[in-house]
Every structure is written in structure tokens, then in C-alpha cells.
Amino acid sequence: MVLTTPLFRALRRLYPSARLDLVTTPAAAPLVEEDPHLDRVLTYDKGGGDGLAAVVRKIRAGRYDLWVAPHRSARTSLVGALAGVPRRVGFADAGLAFLYHGVVHRPLARHEVDRNLALLRGLGAAPESGDRVLHVGYTELEAQQVSAVLSGAGVPADAPLAILCPGSVWATKRWQADGFAAVGRALAGDGLRVVVLGGPGDRDVAGRVARGIGPGAADAAGRTSLKALAAWMDRARVVVTNDSAPLHVAAARGAPTVAVFGATTLDLGFGPFHGRTRVVQVDLPCRPCGLHGGHRCPHGHFRCMGQIGPGAVLAACRQVLGGGA
């Protein structure tokens, strides 16, 4: 979702007075609720009981003139068609792509941001360099949530923060908790206050990292909303993350970041976009072993993460902290 936000910016540039609405899942919606280029965010809870007919009715009621589909599912193609949107543009490799009036080939060698922006070609337009800007916003409410968690953890409001994000849905994209803890201890020794962040599903790993760092670390996993992630990034002097959502939110907020890549590689198109970022990874012939990583190493050795020591990650942190990225 974060890597689609430049497309919203570009569509607003092309159609400044149009009503520009987005359909997405309830889980992703918080990331775009504050996007200034969108008028409304409509949610479609496909796993939670919203049938296809419900979303088709919603779209039909909006009487849209144009359907632009960065999502390549057959369901997305079908919804636009069933809702009777008169002009529809999508990717050639989407499911049921024949339902689109304009199909665009995805430039697979490019970053995901540029792949999404390629959809403009289906509208007879071209991306401009000013489009290539990520956006994730938040409100005063999220800023207050962050301040409350920090104050509850005894962290002074003006303390320099290191934010560690050790979670990922995919096990092969998670660097070791011990490594995060070692980096956290060293950054605390450098005078930063360390906050461990994650969603509700990351509580276990975040707890292990925070305990490994010691009493000065604040374990904030599952304690603030997804939207608050952007507010956290604005407070960070340095962010250490796996190849997961915080990487892209950090890039959107311009937070200095160190990203640890394991089973995935930059040429898959989901690397850091803008911001002061260092990537730590090792060169192995088995990388990448999947587009999104997997739940276990297919070779059983998990060297892509096992060979990354805390020293390399810490050195990268000190580079971005010193402005050397």
C-alpha cells in the first residue's frame, strides 16, 4: 500500500478536480487515511464477510468514470467490470486482464513504485519525477499515542530514539532476535533510548528483543496503531528493521534506516525508497528464495540471516546516525 501512494499523487496531478477514491482492505486503510491526494477510502473486508456483491454495489453507487487497478487479483478486475465503471486500466499480468480497456505491462526490473506508476501509460500519460514520493500521514491522536507510550516507559520527551522493528509475517525475513538485542544494547550505550516496535503478532519477538536489551528498553509492540507507525518514525534518530512494512513507512517519513534483508533481495523491487537508508545483506547464491520470503529456509541452514552479525548492522546504524548514508 505504501508503495502505491505515488500513484495517488500522480492521479491527482492528472485529474486535479476529480473525486479520487480508493478501495482497500480494512487492514491497509489506516496507512492512507491521511493521504491528501485521496478524497475517500472505501474498505472491502473480503475475509470478514463482505461479499463481492457488497463491494460491487458500493462502487456502482459511486458512479465512477475510471477504474485504475494496481492490484492484480482477478477479483479486482471483476469488481470494476461488474460495477460498470466505463473505463478500466490494469496490468497485463492481472487475473482476468481481458476485462480491462487499457492494459499496461509491468516493468518487472523496476522498483514497485515505478511499476505502479507505469499504469499512467494506460491513461495516455507518463510518470513525472515529482510523482515518486511516498506518503504516510497521521494525526495528533497518533502523536499523542506515541507520547503516552514513551512517557509510560519513563522515556523523556526529547530523548533521542532508536526504533527496532524485529517482526515480519515471514520467518525468513526476520533477522535474529539476539542480533536486534545486541544492536539495541550498543545503541543504548551510545546514548539512545531504544524502543522495540511491532504489531500485535510481533509481541513475542519484540518481548525477547526488549528483554535482551535490558531495563532501559521500551517494548511498545502492539501498543499503538498501525497509523501511529508514521508518528514513531518521525521521532526516530535511527530505525532498524527487516524487509517489512516499517521499512516503507520509515522511507515515507524520511527516517534514517538500516534494513536487514535475508531471503529477499533488492531486485525484487521492494527495497528502501528514498530516505537515508543502509541495507545489510550477505551475498548467497540461494537468495532470493521467494518473492515474499517463506516460513522456513528451504535449505535448512538459514545462512542469509545467520551470517549477518550485529557488528555489520551496528556499523550501518552509526553511518546513518552520522549522516553518512
In whole angstroms, give the CA distance from residue 97 to residue 251. Answer: 32
CB of 293 to ligand SF4, least distance (A): 7
CB of 298 to ligand SF4, least distance (A): 5
> Nearest CA to 217 among 163, 256, 172, 166?
163
> Nearest CA to 175 among 247, 220, 256, 240?
240
Tell me if 265 contacts ligand SF4 by CB under 6 A. Answer: no
Give the nearer residue to ligand SF4 in terms of CB position, either 76 or 172: 172
Q: Which residues pair with 249 in a beta bridge?
A: none
Query: Is the preceding omega at residue 107 within 30 degrees of 0, hence cis?
Result: no
Give the nearer residue to ligand SF4 in terms of CB position, either 3 or 304: 304
Tell me if 313 contacts ligand SF4 by CB under 6 A. Answer: no
Tell me if 40 contacts ligand SF4 by CB under 6 A. Answer: no
| Segment lying near ligand SF4 (by CB under 6 A), choices 65-73, 92-100, 230-238, 284-292 | 284-292
Kindly state the DSSP code that residue 174 receives in the 8-state scheme. Answer: P
* # binding residues, ligand SF4 (CB under 6 A): 14
Q: Is 109 helix (H, G, I), strand (E, B) or coil?
A: coil
Tell me if 299 contacts ligand SF4 by CB under 6 A. Answer: yes
Tell me if 263 contacts ligand SF4 by CB under 6 A. Answer: yes
Tell me if 262 contacts ligand SF4 by CB under 6 A. Answer: yes
Provide the residue type at 113 as one letter.
V
CB of 297 to ligand SF4, least distance (A): 3
Give the long-range contacts of residues 248-251, CB within 8 A, separation 24 or more: 248/2, 248/3, 248/134, 248/136, 248/272, 248/273, 249/2, 249/31, 249/136, 250/275, 250/277, 251/2, 251/134, 251/275, 251/277
Tell me if 13 contacts ligand SF4 by CB under 6 A. Answer: no
Q: Which of 52, 74, 286, 315 binds ligand SF4 (CB under 6 A)?
A: 286
| Span 170-189, contacts to ligand SF4 by CB under 6 A | 172
Give the nearer residue to ligand SF4 in terms of CB position, either 137 or 290: 290
| Segment lying near ligand SF4 (by CB under 6 A), choices 23-31, 33-41, 237-245, 283-291 | 283-291
Tell me if 297 contacts ligand SF4 by CB under 6 A. Answer: yes
Check: CB of residue 320 under 8 Å from CB of residue 256. Answer: yes
Q: Is 254 helix (H, G, I), strand (E, B) or coil?
A: coil
Angstrom distances, CA of residue 17 to CA of 12, 13, 45, 59 = 8, 9, 29, 19
Give the nearer residue to ligand SF4 in terms of CB position, either 41 or 304: 304
Question: Which residues lie near ligand SF4 (CB under 6 A)?
Answer: 172, 262-263, 284, 286-287, 289, 297-299, 301-304
